[in-house]
């Protein structure tokens, strides 16, 4: 992409009232725009990051046998009454009167739509197990929205739901999803800082699990076992008498964290109210057993931003970066420079490398370097009179102090290797 044509621009000065680090970094870099408290637009750069995250998640969901679908945002009141959540979640719901006397909910989650839908297709044990997922906007009346994109009133969630004939089948699948989630956060570059965390399991199962990323911006407190590295949330800590449920150790250290994903055994909580029965081999009717598994996309982007930055701006992990290379053309008015920049832009793109080309005239070199650091693309490639004279180009990793001069021939290979 050509930067002079980019829809968004970086901004150095943003309101002091914006206290969230992820929001400050993402707004300065031109990734998001704040429309209102807890309501953000994703600009082209931010949307590219979210799409990268989405694709990683999608690959993992497909490996789990998930089938992607897309459910409505507007849910009839009667579905939410059927589960009792019209009133039990009343405070958190955006209720709308679509027409006089017709009440709806803007979906904060999708069991109320998916379970009656599954009922239309599931009748026999032969129809199970089933796994479906979507990337969908969720709406929640969050009260405190001071954490930038970590907690918003409207956000994209990947929600996967599994339907099983029995508990054993759910238990096995749950373990697979747990591993898959570990890979997702690893691939998104925050594996080291993300902890599998025991959380309350509701009525059906003793535990559920959260994936918690360590950051001072997190609103949760987790307790990490010094011995085995698993964590528990506050609720479990109290129930467990300050003991690790995994290994029994009592050496736990408190950390602030944000929940980037969670997995939950629902059991028959939702198949019951909607009567999602299937017939067993012997003809007996039984309720399907369910699991649900969520990840918030903007929250994940925000968690990455909280973890991956320095005093100059963002430092995106390669797999989720909006581009792999930021090509800085320092003397755009020089025909030699322009020619060279255009050539490199073409070569890299032909190799499947995504390039943001700073072709802007009338910007000082210092401004281009500062913007480049703010945006945080993994590689910076500089073309200037100086580099042209040497016949080489200066390539610098965002996180490295110094760059090195590389020839045109070796350039694509180095960058592709860095991409892994
Ligand atoms: P929290 O305890 O932080 O409110 P939750 O338990 O309500 O989270 P779930 O209902 O399990 O979250 O939603 C699944 C995922 O959706 C979460 O793990 C998180 O990544 C994301 N998420 C939840 N609420 C929000 C929000 N208000 N803004 C952005 N992402 C969210
Ligand atoms: Mg919540």
H helices of 311-364, in order, are: 335-350
Report the separation in Å between the CA atom of 345 and the middle of ligand 1, taken as the mean of its atom positions. Answer: 40
CA dihedral sign, ordered 188, 6, 401, 341: positive
Q: What does the block give as tokens for 131?
A: 């796994």
pLDDT value, residue 164: 98
- How many DSSP H helices and E strands does the chain contain? 13, 23
**Which residue bears the tokens 């890299």?**
348
H helices of 270-318, in order, are: 271-274, 297-307
Angle of helix 297-307 versus helix 21-28 axis, rounded to 10: 90
pLDDT value, residue 82: 98
One fold for 15-71+110-310 and 323-419: no
Question: Using CA atoms, how far apart are residues 192 and 182, in angstroms rounded to an integer?
Answer: 10
* 3-state SS class at 29: coil
Q: 330: pLDDT confidence band, cut at 50, 70 and 90?
A: very high
Residue 194 pLDDT > 70, yes or no?
Answer: yes
Name the residue with the closest Cα to ligand 1, atom 20.
Answer: 296
Cβ-contact 300, 260 below 8 angstroms = yes
- Any ligand 1 atom below 6 A from CB of 158: no
Cα distances (angstroms) measured from residue 195 to each of 167, 180, 190, 352: 26, 14, 10, 33
Taking the CA of 153 as reference, the closest ligand is 1
Chain centroid to Cα 198, Å, comes to 20
**325 φ, ψ to 5°?**
-130, 135
- Any ligand 1 atom below 6 A from CB of 263: no
- Any ligand 1 atom below 6 A from CB of 295: yes
Name the residue with the closest Cα to ligand 1, atom 24.
Answer: 151
Q: 290: pLDDT confidence band, cut at 50, 70 and 90?
A: very high
Question: E-strand spans in 201-351?
Answer: 207-214, 220-225, 231-233, 252-267, 277-279, 285-287, 289-296, 309-310, 313-314, 325-329
Cβ-contact 214, 259 below 8 angstroms = no
H helices of 36-138, in order, are: 44-63, 77-82, 85-88, 111-119
Q: What does the block give as tokens for 291?
A: 């699991």
Q: What is the pTM of this model?
A: 0.97
Report the separation in Å between the CA atom of 86 and the middle of ligand 2, taken as the mean of its atom positions. Answer: 16
H helices of 275-381, in order, are: 297-307, 335-350, 365-375
- Any ligand 1 atom below 6 A from CB of 157: yes
Q: Over pLDDT 90: what percentage of the chain? A: 92
Q: Domain map of the chain by residue range?
A: 15-71+110-310, 323-419
Residue 16 pLDDT > 70, yes or no?
Answer: yes
pLDDT value, residue 317: 98
pLDDT for 168-181, tens place per residue? Answer: 999 999 999 999 99
Please state the CATH superfamily assignment of the domain spanning residues 323-419 in this structure: Anticodon-binding domain (3.40.50.800)
Residue 281 pLDDT > 70, yes or no?
Answer: yes
* CATH architecture label of 15-71+110-310: 2-Layer Sandwich (3.30)
pLDDT value, residue 257: 98
pLDDT value, residue 340: 93
Q: What is the mean pLDDT of residues 157-163?
A: 98
Nearest to 397 by CA among 368, 366, 373: 373
Residue 88 pLDDT > 80, yes or no?
Answer: yes
**91 φ, ψ to 5°?**
-60, -30
Highest-scoring range by mean pLDDT, 92-101, 231-240, 312-321, 406-415: 312-321
User: What's the chain's average pLDDT?
Assistant: 96
Cβ-contact 233, 220 below 8 angstroms = yes
Report the separation in Å between the CA atom of 139 and the middle of ligand 2, taken as the mean of its atom positions. Answer: 11
Residue 420 pLDDT > 70, yes or no?
Answer: no
pLDDT for 383-395, tens place per residue? Answer: 998 888 888 999 9
Q: What is the mean pLDDT of residues 73-77?
A: 97
- Any ligand 1 atom below 6 A from CB of 299: yes
Q: What does the block give as tokens for 73?
A: 């945002």
Question: Using CA atoms, how far apart are residues 81 and 103, in angstroms rounded to an integer?
Answer: 11
Residue 300 pLDDT > 80, yes or no?
Answer: yes
- Any ligand 1 atom below 6 A from CB of 155: yes
Nearest to 373 by CA among 316, 414, 299: 316
pLDDT value, residue 418: 76
Question: Using CA atoms, how far apart are residues 350 and 354, in angstroms rounded to an integer?
Answer: 9
Taking the CA of 142 as reference, the closest ligand is 1
- Tell me how long the chain is: 420
Residue 419 pLDDT > 80, yes or no?
Answer: no
């Amino acid at each position: 992409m050509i930067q002079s044509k980019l829809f968004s621009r970086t901004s150095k000065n943003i309101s002091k009232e914006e206290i969230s680090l992820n929001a400050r970094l993402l707004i300065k870099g031109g990734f998001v725009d704040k429309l209102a408290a807890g309501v953000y637009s994703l600009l082209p750069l931010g949307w590219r990051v979210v799409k990268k995250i989405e694709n990683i998640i999608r690959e993992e969901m497909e490996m789990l046998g998930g089938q992607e679908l897309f459910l409505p945002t507007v849910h009839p009141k009667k579905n939410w009454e059927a589960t009792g959540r019209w009133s039990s979640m009343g405070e958190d719901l955006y209720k709308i009167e679509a027409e006089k006397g017709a009440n709806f909910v803007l979906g904060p989650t999708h069991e109320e739509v998916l379970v009656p839908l599954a009922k239309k297709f599931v009748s026999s044990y032969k129809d199970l197990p089933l796994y479906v997922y979507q990337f969908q906007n969720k709406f929640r009346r969050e009260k405190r929205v001071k954490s930038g994109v970590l907690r918003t009133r409207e956000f994209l969630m990947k929600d996967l739901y599994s339907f099983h004939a029995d508990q054993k089948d759910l238990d096995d699948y749950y373990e697979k999803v747990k591993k898959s989630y570990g890979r997702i956060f690893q691939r998104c570059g925050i594996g080291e800082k993300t902890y599998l965390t025991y959380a309350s399991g509701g009525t059906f199962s003793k535990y559920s699990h959260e994936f918690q990323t360590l950051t001072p911006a997190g609103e949760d407190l987790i307790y990490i076992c010094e011995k085995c590295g698993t964590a528990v949330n506050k609720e479990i800590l109290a129930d467990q008498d300050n003991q690790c449920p995994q290994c029994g150790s009592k050496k736990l250290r408190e950390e602030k964290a944000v929940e980037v994903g969670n997995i939950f055994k629902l059991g028959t909580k939702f198949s019951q109210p909607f009567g999602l029965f299937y017939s067993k081999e012997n003809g007996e009717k039984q309720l399907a057993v369910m699991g649900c598994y969520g990840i918030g996309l903007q929250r994940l982007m925000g968690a990455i931003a909280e973890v991956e930055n320095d005093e100059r701006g963002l430092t995106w992990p390669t797999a989720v970066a909006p581009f792999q290379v930021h090509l800085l053309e320092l003397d755009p008015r020089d025909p030699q420079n322009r020619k060279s920049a255009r050539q490199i832009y073409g070569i890299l793109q032909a190799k499947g490398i995504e390039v943001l080309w700073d072709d802007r005239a009338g910007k000082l070199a210092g401004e281009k370097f500062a913007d480049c650091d703010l945006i945080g693309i993994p590689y910076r490639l500089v073309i200037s009179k100086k580099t042209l004279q040497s016949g080489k180009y200066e390539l610098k990793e965002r996180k490295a102090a110094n760059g090195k001069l590389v020839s045109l021939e070796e350039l694509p290979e180095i960058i592709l290797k860095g991409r892994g």
